[in-house]
Amino acid sequence: MESLTNSQSNGLIIALKHKGAIIDMNRLVIMTVGITHSGKTTFAKELESVLQQAVVIDQDNHAEFINSHYKKLLPLEGPNTLKFSITNAIVEYAAVQSNFHIILSNCNLNKSGRTNVLRYFHEKGFISIIVYFNLSIEILRARVEQTERSKAIFRSATSFLEVLERQGNSGEIPPSKDEANYLFEIKDPNTTTEIIQQIKQTLVN
């Protein structure tokens, strides 16, 4: 689950595809996709407050927790398997032991990672939604230059600019309409409220 493991209208719903999921549970899994400082965390918190019966699972929180308390256990190189293990345990608990909608707030840039995660939720009867944050690099650079976010989440990076450049040049495949039941794209930050309302509306459709 490494991605936990980051169309053309300005944020209007652009795709709907049912994948044979059992939807009588009426639970949503909302996955954010986007590079650093694209607004994923702010969006997830706002969506959580609107849906009410929802929980945000954010890997940055897990990274900061590990760096504060278990830094000695971090792998010296390669994937951060400790962080992924913690995230997977929380995801499993939330999916099986609660009735909350689940908001996966992290970059989820890798397509195979997204596919594996969403397959897990489809098998459990969730309705899947991807929200793709596709803001211009100019907006993202401006945000990074002004950021006051803690660097406690870093394992090897030294700045958010470094993270932005690495993620922006990763060559990962953007999400497509065949990956989830619903796909939204955000190109304009001013459309986020409208998208949140559209996601809420999926619960009554």
- For residue 193, give Cα distances in angstroms to 19, 73, 82, 129, 200: 27, 40, 34, 16, 11
Tokens of 122: 């489809």
Structural contact between residues 71 and 24, judged by C-beta atoms closer than 8 angstroms: no
The one-letter amino acid at 147: T
Helix (H) or strand (E) holding 111: helix 111-123
Confidence (pLDDT) at 181:
96
Please tell me the distance from the alpha carbon of residue 1 to that of residue 79, in angstroms, as a whole number. 11
Say what the pLDDT of residue 157 is: 66
Rg (CA), the chain: 16
Q: What's the predicted TM-score (pTM) here?
A: 0.80
What values do phi and psi take at 88, rounded to 5?
A: -60, -40
Dist. CA 61–CA 5, nearest whole Å: 14
Mean pLDDT of 18-43: 76
Q: What is the pLDDT of residue 155?
A: 58
Q: How confident is the model at residue 156 (pLDDT cuts 50, 70, 90)?
A: low
Q: What proportion of the chain, given as a percentage, has pLDDT over 70?
A: 83
Average pLDDT over residues 192-203: 93
Mean pLDDT of 141-153: 75
Could you tell me which of 106, 90, 119, 123 has the C-alpha nearest to residue 22?
A: 123
Question: pLDDT at position 197, please?
Answer: 96
Q: How far apart are CA 181 and CA 66, in angstroms?
A: 33
- C-beta separation of 121 from 29 below 8 A: yes
The pLDDT of residue 188 is 93
Which pLDDT band holds residue 152 (cuts at 50, 70, 90)? low
The tens digit of pLDDT for each residue in 31-47 reads 999 988 888 999 999 99
